[in-house]
Amino acid sequence: MSTLTPVNSPESPTSVSGKHQSPNGAAVTGKTIFTLEDIQKLLPHRYPFALVDRIIEYVPGERAVGIKNVTFNEPHFQGHFPGRPIMPGVLIVEAMAQVGGVVLTQLPEVAGGLFMFAGIDKVRFRRQVVPGDQLVMSAELLYVKRRRFGKMQARAEVDGQLAAEGELMFSLVD
């Protein structure tokens, strides 16, 4: 018997179609948008480490798309790099993971847990992210293993150009 729970398949117990609920309990059909306030109810991250401003698309148990508006006022730009501000790659990966966290925290079988990185594979950076950019990040759940581990495929784009992509693994911490 396999310990993997497939997602994104018709047999998947987490597949949902039609109506679902937003974090504030409202019934929603089609595209779901989570505001910053909704995201803060789902994720523990706070300034300066909250890296998702809005979820613009959400399919329960499958995927989410979020945005981050990159501004010069962010503290890491003071030292990375003076005179040539570039968003650190580790923060791009963290922002993608936070979008994935929105998907994971909504899975009924893992409600109430805290997810942390268990691994990062095949991450590649393709384009610099600078102040003024809008980072559009997608995270698609590939599988959940034993209700404690998950793997996602994540991408970050700016103006339709790939900035970063990779596989992110998560572990549920009690």
Q: Supply the residues annotated as catalytic.
A: 80
Q: Which two tokens stand for residue 105?
A: 């925290």
Residue 50 to residue 77: CA distance in whole angstroms: 16
Q: Where are the alpha helices (DSSP H) in the chain?
A: 36-42, 89-105
**Which residues, other chains included, contact 35 with Cβ-Cβ below 8 Å and sequence gap of 6+?**
54
Contact 70, 130 (CB under 8 A): yes
Contact 60, 106 (CB under 8 A): yes
Residue 2 to residue 111: CA distance in whole angstroms: 22
Q: Taken in order 82, 86, 88, 94, is the CA torsion positive or negative?
A: positive
